[in-house]
Amino acid sequence: MNGRVVLAMMYRESFLKAARFDNPRFIPCRIILTQPILNTYREGAVELIKRYPLAFAEHDPNSIVFDDRPGLVFEDRFAQDVYGTVWRFKIRGLGGEPYRYPLENLDRVREWSLPEPEAGYPLGYANPKPIIPWEELFSDFDRLREQGRIVVFSLHHFLFQKLMDLVPLNKLIYAIYKGDERLIAAIEKIVEYQYGLLKVAERYRGIDVVAFLEDLGSQESPLIRAEHLRKYFLPHYRRFFDEVRGMGAIVYFHSDGKIIPLADVILEAGVDVLNIQDVVNGVSNIAARFRGKVCIDLDVDRQHLIPYGTREEISRHIENAIEKLNTESGGLMLHIEVYPPTPLENVHHLAEACYRYCYRNLG
């Protein structure tokens, strides 16, 4: 067994134990280098991945592919997903943005239809294609298991966030406020399709984590009221999360934005791991509402700290988060996404901080 497989197995074990408050060996800390960062720093980024392998647990230095020219690669590309949303891509390696909404007019929900779940697994943003055969996805899972890595099944843009892909946000918020029956019909169709996908995925017996991506907040406030989240979405959350726990898998719930006012509903849903942004919510607020109740996967500030912070600021921020959020039995992870214009020096500082505060028990 080679060294990278051993490290991957160590990381997987601590990830699952942290999620279950089961005394992990270390605090899982992972740095995600986006494709524009990899393509900009190339061999320099690969050397850091090799030097700090546990900090880059989701990167295999032997499988990184660069574009023909370094730096940002601009494009103007369109793709339509199985829901009917047309996505526009402007920078290669980053997600798209909705360009055309299939339910811009909610009257269209009556004839709007989704494929049978058996048809295949829909890729997020329809990138690089709208759908792949289940056999291909399960083969990818097999490779992850062979490498000792975590097997994650993702329901990309789950319910509320999926509605934001289908309906312009101003119309969506108004429809939720009014309890528009056409919107309720859209939710039911999404739920039926997503639940069908989950049931097909259950045939693969080695899934560790099921991820639900559900941005509920803006920079200043939630995008939905707590009472509306509880009324229209909480029953579906509970149904899906119960199914995942029946699989023996971890319920991983991601939301960008300020979601502290929605804390009670999120906890009622029965989340195992909550991926939440640090600065917009406040580390102290996160500790007060979630510490010890749910495993916190802290999304480290990518707007200011990661691209512009000094070595000392990065170190102090990571140390403070761990002091306030970790418990004796676990319940904390760190998630660090790196985008331009972050200098390579700061990627180095982040990796150092991960090893100093999260992996210090490894000796």
- B/e letters for 76-97, b = 16+ CB within 10 Å, e = fewer, are eeebebbbbbebebebebbebe
84 domain residue, yes or no: no
Return the percentage of the chain with pLDDT > 70, whole number.
99
Task: Tell me the average pLDDT across 4-23.
Answer: 95
Measured in degrees and rounded to the nearest 5, phi and psi for residue 355 equal: -70, -35
103 domain residue, yes or no: no
16 domain residue, yes or no: yes
75 domain residue, yes or no: no
88 domain residue, yes or no: no
- B/e letters for 62-74, b = 16+ CB within 10 Å, e = fewer, are eebeeeeeeebee
Query: Is the CB of residue 221 less than 8 Å from the CB of residue 261?
Result: yes
Return the percentage of the chain with pLDDT > 90, whole number.
96
pLDDT in tens, 184-202: 999 999 999 999 999 999 9
Task: Tell me the average pLDDT across 155-174.
Answer: 97
Give the CATH number, domain containing residue 281. 3.20.20.210
Please determine, for residue 3, whether its predicted confidence score (pLDDT) is greater than 90.
no
Q: By residue range, what is the domain housing residue 232?
A: 3-68+113-362
227 domain residue, yes or no: yes
The confidence score (pLDDT) of residue 360 equals 83
pLDDT in tens, 97-153: 999 999 999 999 999 999 999 999 999 999 999 999 999 999 999 999 999 999 999
The confidence score (pLDDT) of residue 335 equals 98
pLDDT in tens, 162-171: 999 999 999 9
How many CB atoms within 10 Å of residue 348? Answer: 17
**What's the structural domain count of the chain?**
1
Please determine, for residue 94, whether its predicted confidence score (pLDDT) is greater than 60.
yes
Task: Tell me the average pLDDT across 284-293.
Answer: 98
105 domain residue, yes or no: no
Please determine, for residue 303, whether its predicted confidence score (pLDDT) is greater than 80.
yes
The confidence score (pLDDT) of residue 363 equals 56
219 domain residue, yes or no: yes
The confidence score (pLDDT) of residue 125 equals 95
pLDDT in tens, 76-91: 999 999 999 999 999 9
Query: In this structure, are strands 209-213 and 250-255 parallel, antiparallel, or unpaired?
Result: parallel
Task: Tell me the average pLDDT across 42-48.
Answer: 97
Distances in whole angstroms, Cα of residue 109 to Cα of each of 185, 249, 325: 7, 33, 43
The confidence score (pLDDT) of residue 120 equals 98
The confidence score (pLDDT) of residue 1 equals 60
Please determine, for residue 331, whether its predicted confidence score (pLDDT) is greater than 60.
yes
Residue 235 pLDDT level (bands cut at 50, 70, 90):
very high
Among the listed residues 50, 43, 68, the one whose alpha carbon sits nearest the alpha carbon of residue 7: 50
- Residue predicted with more confidence, 2 or 46: 46
